[in-house]
Structure 1
């Protein structure tokens, strides 16, 4: 990891609005997740998020767990970012990383940049090692590939 973040980019032959609509819907996140950890949002999560919204996501790495994600950056069709933390008091100790998607219109489609930003991570030692950064790098690449596939299947 170089500094506080890891990013990957992919050109997708679709308009940014179509891509953004998938990213803004937590119910679609399991379809694009390249890490294999995202399951489904809780029933109380919004169908489509906006700035300040929170959505709970069922996750699994070995054992199942839940994360509360707050949308901290939002510019319709251009930028969306959320910051996960563990629920309840545990969130004071676990979480803080940011998942960010930036969409830039290009001829024939959109350049999508996904960034994993740990500048606000509460337990930095847990994520600042070669094993985690290797997994995250692979997951970013896989997520953008899956996003391209899902966008291609969406009418």
Structure 2
């Protein structure tokens, strides 16, 4: 046996996507509670979409990147405080790119047992497909969608 078992008794690592929206923050709280009850580690992933940088004049890119880094730092501090408050082991990662691609890559990389995300509030996702629906369709982990 290789020491790693998918589908063991409860999750050992839970990945949660956080973007600062109300539904993602509820997803973070739900995932923290789940991690605490299951004795699992929580990996909080903050993904900044590549579209945030598109179409900017070259001089503005540095300002936008600094703002995005500052937002990620603030979320990382919230994660640290929340993990301590909830009594869970948590890590924070920030990534740039498509949320589905990055969450999937990281969940596969850490061999996540579960993925938790907030429900999309965007009407445009009815056409393109929400992050949650795309993760469920991938079928690689149990996915919990928090309203």
Q: Which structure's CA Rg is the greater one? A: 2
TM-score by length of 2: 0.30
Structure holding more strand per residue: 1
